[in-house]
Homo-oligomer: A and B are copies of this chain.
Amino acid sequence: MTINVGVLGVSGYTGQSLVQLLTAHPIFKLTRLFSTSYEGDYAQLIPGFSSKAVPLVSSYDVSQCDDLDIIFLAVPHTKSMAIVRELMARYKSLKIVDLSADFRLKNREDYESTYRVVHDAPDVLSEAVYGLPEKYADGLASARLCASPGCYATSMILGMLPLVGRLDSNIPISIDAKSGVSGAGKALKESSLFCEVHDHLSAYATGDHRHMAELVQESGFSNVLFSPHLVPMQRGIESAIYIHGGTLDNVHALYEQYYEAHPFVRVYPSDTQPTTRLVTNTNDCAIIPKKIGDWVVVFSLLDNLIKGASGQAVQSANIMAGLDQTTGLN
């Protein structure tokens, strides 16, 4: 069996990671590489990539998607709305995995206030399934459009899901998150320059990061203080979740049981040292839950480019295609 897939947006870090995963996938065949900024030999873009592995990169044209079964969109936020609308109108059986934020929020107003643009395809919003297979595997199985979650959101939501219904949904939760620099993408910004980032740590957008809307919608908790940081490393996210109070016991057992059947969430013993090394270059989310006095502390770690982006997208696409969700991801 072969399933033809394409990627739009192959030059960014997420697109590049997608191409690597798809090249090694046993069922998906990468037949189209589209870019808005580059045409030609993909190996010229990516040092060490073998030219033979993939077709030439071409400029995106909706008419060239007719041989595709699945397309992955790795374009910036606000750029995929129009593309999705056009693809859905033209190809009824094409499955779409959108890695941007454009279809993640169910509520159009939330999207528009968060991203400060008018939504271009509001009628499609209700059809999109949030691409977190640990929560929406059933929906994904029959979805035409998957809205693949953000990296911060994935790490935080997976870290909180087992607590839903166990703690008051209004309990105050502070989340101190740290991300490697690839999370900022390949865009030319002064704040992404080596000399600006190297050997320094910084906090940013405390309490108003745009991933909050996604978090409130999907986590089940409403009083969350989200505090992201930029760390001088290439990849990896750690979300440290701090909750005081509640009368929850057996926190570790709760998490273990909750994720028992989920191949990409690994619940580690409470005394494991939380480190991004647990997950680098894998599609795993590592979770280390602890009870410390009256505090519940949960460390949730993932590779922002894989479980936080390309790997999770492939995981969802596997489900959409009727494959085992782990296909090509181990």
* Chain A residues close to B by CB (< 8 Å): 13, 47-48, 172, 174, 176, 178, 181-182, 186, 188-190, 192-204, 206-208, 223, 225, 227, 229, 231-234, 236, 238, 240, 242, 244-245, 273-280, 282, 284, 286, 290, 292-295, 297, 299
Contacts and interface: CB of A to CB of B under 8 A. Distances in A.
A78 to B, nearest CB: 21
A201 B48 contact: no
Nearest to A182: B195
Contact of A201 (B190, B197, B207, B275): B275
A47 B297 contact: no
23 contacts: A47-B273, A47-B275, A47-B277, A48-B279, A48-B282, A48-B284, A176-B227, A176-B240, A178-B178, A178-B229, A181-B195, A182-B195, A186-B190, A188-B190, A188-B193, A198-B232, A201-B233, A202-B273, A203-B274, A206-B290, A206-B299, A207-B295, A225-B293
Nearest to A282: B48
B193 A273 contact: no
A223 B242 CA distance: 13
A156 to B, nearest CB: 14
A200 B48 contact: no
A203 B202 CA distance: 17
Given A242-B242, A277-B202, A290-B206, A232 B231 contact: yes
